[in-house]
Structure 1
Amino acid sequence: MEATKRLLEALKELKKAELKEFIWHLCNGVAADIEPIPRGNLEEADRQDVVDCMVEQYSDDAGKITVQVLRNIKQNNLANHLESKLQEGVCVCVCVNIYIYIYIYRHEIKILLPVEPQPIQSDGKRRSMTQSSQEFKRKKLQEMGDEIYIPAKSQRKGSALLITNIVFDYEVNNRPGAEIDEENMEWLLRALGYNVEKRRNLSGEAIDREVRNFSKLLSGHRDADSTFVVIMSHGARINNKDAILGVHYHLSRNPNDVYFVDETFSHLNSVNCPALIDKPKVILINACRGGGVEVPDQVPRPDTWVHWKTDFVCFMSTVPDTASYRNTKTGSHFINYILDVFCECAHEDDLMELFRKVTNCMATRPGRTFDKLLPCLERTSLTKKFYLFPGL
């Protein structure tokens, strides 16, 4: 009952046109794995009717789906507020192997719940994220001073964008198993404390638009301490540039349906995304690979000159002119090794050390010679060590 009340309160914040757009998404599909509500059920529906229909169709998932639709219609502040309120109302049951950790620090009581374990995978794996401790975090901040990126005070680390292309216009280009990568990456990002904006099956132009829109999320980035952008699709090298293929791509019929990875750096640089100045911007690309500027005056900084493309790190699944392999049942090697290493080591290693361990694992993995992959760091300009501090 309390959760239903929260949903209704959220919908009351929407204007008439915004409510209409909200209903449109419910009827036309929020995501590929969420069944749409029949149009007739929401014809001439008011806010209470919408909530009732969602609860009836989605049961306990109604709140989560409401948050997703709000983000789809760019009501990010309202989505974050609702998500927070829904989490406050969750009843916690203490049972075997579930523990509640209470930290008292500077007169503040903070209750941390272990991150929900990853769903069991087709290979039988079920990962769990090892949590950092407040003591470790305080020690690192004291020891490293200006050599470490200082986390934001809020528990939320920021927003992450996850784009996955699975189904293409030309069936031969479909990426079976990529849905597992999507599920794995979404779980990992949420386990690290990020609010995930998920998009699927986009053209090159649509990828560009989504990354550009993501860079404009002032409220999502202003109070964040970092961000992740993850793009998974087919890839190619075009004119010596890394390109991500859109779902309409065809070598002869539609060769221009691509998104160049370089555009990600442009959209998130200091000019186009000032809210992320001095904050790590982590770009993960899972695909094959066939100076300074003036900052706008409104950016609160002691000086107005900053490097244009600093604080980036881009980790790609393979070196140039090399294919990237994906298992149709367990997902990509690259994504699986990232999850393995991050779950085991992110509580104590900085990001570059995590990437080094992923690279080492992939370089030494047993198997056939031709599918031994070597990930590659590109355009890295982190000026400090970046610790993820999972759970804090």
Structure 2
Amino acid sequence: MEPRDRELIQKNYMSLVEIIKPRVDEVCGELLGMGIISSGMKEDITEVPFPSERKAMMLLDLLMTRGNHAVEALYKAGLQQQLYGLADILRPENQPHGLIHTTGLQDSTPTASAADDSPDEPLPDTWPDQAAIESIGTLRKVDKKQSRMLKLYKESLEVPGKGMIYRMKHRERGRCVVFNNYTFDHLQPRDGSNQDRKGVEKLFQALGFDVEVYNNKTCKKMWELMEEEAKADHSQADCFVMFIFSHGHSGVVFGTDGKKDEKEVLQNAIGIKRIRELFGNLDSLGGKPKLFFIQACQGDLKDKGQEVHDGGTSPMKASTSPDLPETTLSLQQQKRLNEENIKDIKLTAKNLEEDQSDAMGEKRPNQGDIFIAMATIPDHLSWRNTVHGSWFIQAVVYVFGKYAHKHNLDRLMNMVKNLVAKSETRIKQYKQIGEIISTLNKDFYFFPGLCEKEPNC
């Protein structure tokens, strides 16, 4: 650790302890994610039966042995956890980090007067809730009162490729491609899918994306359009997004001609792995986030849920319209699927033994910077309300529209999963939970309303 950083910690030791101790476990988690401490070091602090003050002391003592980047990492962890007093002490040249400060010891409690520091409005008690969705109106954008978000955005623009936040610098963020299959040759229609399409189209246009919608495409046509998109020049884009609304099964999504033959083998389906591989190795999207949202069943199992014994009662479902599974294919088909479509991608890297010139370009993993949000977990059904749309996509539209101006993608998707988990079918009270597959290696924020050269995007 640099002598000046060590002196800074020692000089403000007890003030830092007081600020960190209410959120010491969360700060340790942030530092683990940045690679400053190991999981064993984190457990040595968070799992011991010591008071939080003692844990904060242990953390500071450890950080003074963790190299020259430890203080900068602690500063960023403080911003992530809204401990602005900590950030002010470590980087006084950047203060004020919050909008309200006290003299002497800094208050680590988020203040309600700061737009991005105020507590989140509670999520609806039941889902889907069309009144809640319609109440959003327009996308909430970052405004000048959100000091934390403005600083994070500034950080994202500094030293391309070196920071821990993906850049979103252009007014036009990139392409958002939507495949909306709702009429099929051999499978049941997907009533309510157009509600999903309308919500996503409006949301991502407001987020600055060029939205392209393809309705009711066969398997062959879907793949041709995906290949065309992959061949396009995305060099001026910050990001790429794709939504797929269709029937599906383990590891695949169907075109409108999807079916099972007399031997119960699935036909006219595209493997999600295949889609991932297509977009995972594009030069013009290298190092840029590629987001995929898949609304489709991944099997035939139904989640019956479990009782939560916390003294509370589960709210009844608000909607009276029917909720339908995305497909009713037999479980035998799952065993017959081509392994190419259902295996997890195993990323491998060949170690290079020879020395290489510093002039060589930066190399990235072929399948890096990919985020896949599945509506449901493997082998299970996903549910769609015939009036409001699918539980999952409507939750995405609601949460992103209301909270994308203040939270990163990980937090947003946890809120989405929380909403979906509140849903249940009207008759047998079946449940649903989604799954995230991610090789993102930085924090992703949509930063609605911000771009590099224009104050109001």
TM-score range, shorter chain: 0.5 to 0.7
Cα deviation code 1:330-368 (max 9, x no counterpart): 100101111111111100100111011111222234665
Deviation at 1:142, TM superposition (A): 4.6
Cα deviation code 1:163-222 (max 9, x no counterpart): 01011113x52111111111111111112110011111112222221111111110xx11
Structure 2 residue 166 is the aligned partner of structure 1 residue 149: yes
| Aligned partner of residue 214 in structure 2, secondary structure | strand
Letter in 2 for 1:149: Y
Does structure 2 retain, via aligned residues, the 8 Å contact 1:313–1:381?
A: yes
| Aligned partner of residue 256 in structure 2, secondary structure | coil
Structure 2 residue 295 is the aligned partner of structure 1 residue 289: no
Structure 2 residue 309 is the aligned partner of structure 1 residue 309: no
Worse overlay, 172-181 or 141-150: 141-150
Give the Cα separation in 1 of the matches to 2:360 and 2:129.
52
Give 1:163's aligned residue.
179
Does structure 1 retain, via aligned residues, the 8 Å contact 2:288–2:369?
A: yes
Distance change >3 Å, CA 302–CA 385, structure 1 → 2: farther
Deviation at 1:138, TM superposition (A): 3.0
Does structure 1 retain, via aligned residues, the 8 Å contact 2:140–2:403?
A: yes
Give 1:80's aligned residue.
none
Give 1:102's aligned residue.
none
Match of 1:384 among 438, 442, 455: 442
Give 2:433's aligned residue.
374
Matched residue pairs, number?
A: 255
Give the Cα separation in 2 of the matches to 1:198 and 1:367.
29
Match of 2:209 among 177, 187, 194: 194
Deviation at 1:288, TM superposition (A): 0.2
Distance change >3 Å, CA 229–CA 356, structure 1 → 2: same
Match of 1:226 among 217, 235, 239: 239
Give the Cα separation in 2 of the matches to 1:234 and 1:256.
12
Show the 5 A alignment for 1:154-303. 154-170=170-186, 172-218=187-233, 221-237=234-250, 242-252=251-261, 255-270=266-281, 273-290=282-299, 291-292=348-349, 303=361
Q: Which structure: larger Rg? A: 2
Distance change >3 Å, CA 133–CA 292, structure 1 → 2: farther
Cα deviation code 1:137-177 (max 9, x no counterpart): 4311356761111222x21111111101011113x521111
If asked which structure has higher relative contact order (CA below 8 Å, sep 6+), I would say 2
Give the Cα separation in 2 of the matches to 1:123 and 1:384.
33
Give 2:408's aligned residue.
350
Give 1:33's aligned residue.
none
Match of 2:395 among 337, 343, 355: 337
Give 1:132's aligned residue.
142
TM-score normalised by structure 1 residue count: 0.61
Give 1:362's aligned residue.
420
Letter in 2 for 1:376: E
Give the Cα separation in 2 of the matches to 1:274 and 1:166.
33
Give the Cα separation in 1 of the matches to 2:266 and 2:391.
28
Give the Cα separation in 1 of the matches to 2:433 and 2:148.
31
| Aligned partner of residue 293 in structure 2, secondary structure | strand
Q: Which runs of 5+ in 1 are unaligned?
A: 1-120, 295-300
Give the Cα separation in 2 of the matches to 1:319 and 1:370.
18
Letter in 2 for 1:131: K
Letter in 2 for 1:132: V
Letter in 1 for 2:175: S
Deviation at 1:133, TM superposition (A): 2.4
Deviation at 1:302, TM superposition (A): 5.6
Does structure 1 retain, via aligned residues, the 8 Å contact 2:287–2:364?
A: no
Give the Cα separation in 2 of the matches to 1:224 and 1:312.
15
Give the Cα separation in 1 of the matches to 2:287 and 2:350.
14
Deviation at 1:293, TM superposition (A): 8.2
Distance change >3 Å, CA 293–CA 201, structure 1 → 2: farther
Give the Cα separation in 1 of the matches to 2:448 and 2:367.
26
Does structure 2 retain, via aligned residues, the 8 Å contact 1:293–1:307?
A: no
Give the Cα separation in 2 of the matches to 1:365 and 1:173.
22
Q: Which runs of 5+ in 2 are unaligned?
A: 1-127, 300-347, 352-358, 451-457
RMSD (Å), alpha carbons: 2.5
